[in-house]
Structure 1
Amino acid sequence: MSEPLTVPPFLAANVARLLPIAREGRLGRLRRGIEKEGLRVDTEGHIAQTPHPKTLGSKLTHPHITTDYSEALLEYITPVYSQPREALAFLGDLQAFSYRYLEDEWIWPASMPARLSGNDSVPIADYGTSNIGTMKHVYRKGLDVRYGRIMQAIAGVHYNVSLPDSMWQVLQTLEGQERVSLNDYRSTRYFGLIRNFRRHSWLLLYLFGASPAIDKSFLPRGDAPETVPEKLKPLDDETYYAPYATTLRMSDLGYQNKVQEQLKICFNSLSNYVNTLRHAISSPWPDYEKMGVNVDGDWRQLNANILQIENEYYSDIRPKRVTKHNETPSQALEARGVEYIEVRCLDLNPFDPLGVTETQIRFIDAFLMWCLLSESPWISDEECDRLDDNRRLVVERGRDPRLTLTRDGEATSVGAWGEQIFAEMNEVATLLDATEEGAPHAEAIAALAPSLQDPALTPSAQILARLEQNEVSFSELMLTLAKEQGEQLRHQPMLRAREALLDQLVETSHQQQRDIEVADQERFSDFLADYFASARENRALTSLHNEASS
Structure 2
Amino acid sequence: MSEQLASAIARLKAPARQGLFGRLRRGIEKEGLRVNADGQISQTSHPRALGSKLTHPYITTDYSESLLEYITPVFTRPKDSLEFLADLHRFSYRNLGDELIWPASMPPRLNGNDSVPIADYGTSNSGTMKHIYRKGLDVRYGRIMQSIAGIHYNFSLPDDFWVLLQRLEGAEGEDARDFRSRRYFELIRNFRRHSWILLYLFGASPGVDESFLDGGNDDRLKRQADRSLVSAYATSLRMSDLGYQNKVQAQLKICFNSLDNFVGTLRHAIVTPWKDYEKLGVKQTDGSWSQLSSSILQIENEYYSDIRPKRVTKQNETPSQALEGRGVEYIEVRCLDLNPFLPLGIDETQIRFLDTFLIWCLLTESPWIDDEECANLDNSKRRVVEAGRDPSLTLNVKGEERKLREIAANVMDELGEVAGLLDGDDKAGSAHRDALAALAPRFDQPDSTPSGRLLTSMIDNGSNFVDEVMGLARGQAEQFKAEPMERARGYLLDQLVETSLQQQGDIEAGDHQDFDTFMAEYFASAHATQPA
Normalised-by-shorter TM-score class: over 0.9
CA distance, structure 2, for counterparts of residue 538 and residue 485 of structure 1: 47
Alignment match, 2:370: 380
Q: Percent identity?
A: 64
User: Equivalences for 1:111-510 in 2 at 5 Å?
Assistant: 111-221=105-215, 227-295=216-284, 296-435=286-425, 436-510=427-501
Shift of 1:472: 1.1
Cα separation, partners in 2 of 1:26 and 1:229, compared to 1, 3 Å: closer
CA distance, structure 2, for counterparts of residue 156 and residue 253 of structure 1: 15
Q: Encode CA deviations 1:295-349: one digit per residue, 9 max, x unaligned.
A: 1211100000000000000000000000000000000000000000000000000
- Number of matched pairs: 530
Amino acid across the alignment from 1:310: E
Shift of 1:185: 0.5
**Is the 1:28–1:166 Cα contact (8 Å) retained in structure 2?**
no
CA distance, structure 2, for counterparts of residue 457 and residue 413 of structure 1: 19
**Secondary structure class of the residue paired with 2:385:** helix
CA distance, structure 1, for counterparts of residue 398 and residue 262 of structure 2: 25
CA distance, structure 2, for counterparts of residue 539 and residue 18 of structure 1: 37
Alignment match, 1:525: 516
Match of 1:85 among 51, 54, 79: 79
Amino acid across the alignment from 2:319: P
**Secondary structure class of the residue paired with 2:333:** strand
Amino acid across the alignment from 2:231: A
Shift of 1:407: 1.2
Alignment match, 1:3: none
Q: Encode CA deviations 1:331-368: one digit per residue, 9 max, x unaligned.
A: 00000000000000000000011010110000000000
CA distance, structure 2, for counterparts of residue 125 and residue 450 of structure 1: 41
**Is the 1:27–1:166 Cα contact (8 Å) retained in structure 2?**
no
Alignment match, 1:24: 18
Give unmatched runs, 5+ long, in structure 2.
Answer: none
User: So what's the TM-score if we normalise by structure 1?
Assistant: 0.95
**Is the 2:235–2:387 Cα contact (8 Å) retained in structure 1?**
yes
**Is the 2:224–2:463 Cα contact (8 Å) retained in structure 1?**
no
**Is the 1:248–1:395 Cα contact (8 Å) retained in structure 2?**
yes
CA distance, structure 2, for counterparts of residue 394 and residue 12 of structure 1: 29
Shift of 1:21: 1.4
Amino acid across the alignment from 2:437: A
Amino acid across the alignment from 1:473: N
**Secondary structure class of the residue paired with 1:179:** coil
Amino acid across the alignment from 2:450: P
Shift of 1:413: 1.0
Q: Encode CA deviations 1:466-499: one digit per residue, 9 max, x unaligned.
A: 1011121100011111010011001111111000
Amino acid across the alignment from 1:246: T
Cα separation, partners in 2 of 1:291 and 1:468, compared to 1, 3 Å: same
Alignment match, 1:546: none
Between 1:398-407 and 1:33-42, the stretch displaced more is: 398-407
CA distance, structure 2, for counterparts of residue 179 and residue 467 of structure 1: 58
**Secondary structure class of the residue paired with 1:231:** coil
User: So what's the TM-score if we normalise by structure 2?
Assistant: 0.99
